[in-house]
A and B are shown apart, each in its own frame.
Chain A
């Protein structure tokens, strides 16, 4: 039995997503204020692009 498959592929996927999220959280918390603000600016640009696309 390979690691992470005892509860099937869905369980393994959930664990993978949880690990990826935890890794992202650790990275996000280690960012400087400048880096976080740059990330906010990128998120704002993405949201604005989505809004523009929705409006057509």
Chain B
């Protein structure tokens, strides 16, 4: 994992993306009990190319130079399939902008805040996402007021009720 995180921090320093943040199960593990995951989810604001379009080719070429191996929708870095995604919704955009620096050994790694991870899980709404929300709630890993504000602002009230119906 360390090499994957170092590589991401390096390509950010080199200007391939403005900001990035770790999401998904690896980010959730910062706050709550870990669950197994196959990949490392990374949300990144990629810099547009000369024509204003986002081109992943230079980033992938650089990741290959740094030892990464593109495989399907991932780049495998030191055994970790890394999926680099653009922030695909206003909620995810805000989550990346609000990400906090978390320590992994001596590295400062941007990680999505727990309330945003919960809200994104509600937005995605697969069974494993509801289970993630439940972990955050039962382990008191979220600020209830901040989560409520996100739920209301990003129209997730019905999803929250669905979570309550299933788990509470």
Chain A residues proximal to chain B, CB less than 8 Å: 25, 28-29, 31, 33-34, 36-37, 39-41, 43-44, 47
Contacts and interface: CB of A to CB of B under 8 A. Distances in A.
Interface in B15-36: 25-26, 29-30, 32-36
Interface in B26-78: 26, 29-30, 32-38
Shortest Cβ-Cβ A-B pairs, 5 listed: A36-B34, A43-B36, A36-B29, A28-B33, A33-B30
Given A34-B104, A36-B29, A28 B36 contact: no
Contacts of B149: none
Contacts of A31: 34
B102 A33 contact: yes
Tell me the interface secondary structure of chain A in the complex: helix
B139 interface: yes
Contacts of B144: none
Given A40-B25, A40-B26, A44-B38, A34 B105 contact: yes
16 contacts: A25-B33, A28-B34, A29-B32, A29-B139, A33-B30, A33-B103, A33-B104, A36-B30, A36-B33, A37-B1, A39-B34, A40-B25, A40-B29, A40-B37, A41-B1, A43-B36
Given A34-B105, A37-B1, A41-B1, A29 B29 contact: no
Given A36-B30, A40-B26, 20 more contacts: A28-B34, A29-B33, A29-B139, A31-B34, A33-B103, A33-B104, A36-B29, A36-B33, A36-B34, A37-B26, A37-B29, A37-B34, A39-B34, A40-B25, A40-B29, A40-B34, A40-B37, A41-B79, A44-B37, A47-B36
A1 to B, nearest CB: 35
Contacts of A44: 36-38
